[in-house]
Amino acid sequence: MTPDEYVEAVLDLVERIPEGRVMSYGAVADALAERSGRASARLVGNIMARHGGSVPWHRVVSSAGRLPPGHEREARARLRAEGVPLRGEGVDIRVAAWSPQEGM
């Protein structure tokens, strides 16, 4: 799988995250590991930063529920509108976490 295809796979998965739920960068990397052979949270973070504009990027947060630097305000507004449980600076990932297995 080429880097470009990996980007496509990441964006494709992010598009499937249902409203009101979120995934961490690591969870995304993990879910694609089987298919791509790669599992790097950092890589997913980079991909979202560069190509996330066309997908619901706000549904992808850090494993601690922190929102993407520079976009906290925007992300909070969208997440709140979708009914994602917010906690402190970010989201309550323990409650909002979603995995592809759940949504097949």
Q: How far is the CB of 59 from DNA (least distance, A)?
A: 9
Contact between 69 and DNA per CB under 7 A? yes
Contact between 97 and DNA per CB under 7 A? no
In this structure, are residues 16 and 103 in contact, taking their beta carbons and an 8 Å threshold? yes
Subset of 28-67 contacting DNA (CB under 7 A): 38-46, 48-49, 52-53, 57, 60, 62-64, 66
Which whole-number Å values give the CA distances from 60 to 30, 77, 98, in the listed order?
Answer: 13, 14, 10
Contact between 9 and DNA per CB under 7 A? no
Distance separating alpha carbons of residues 29 and 40, to the nearest angstrom? 6
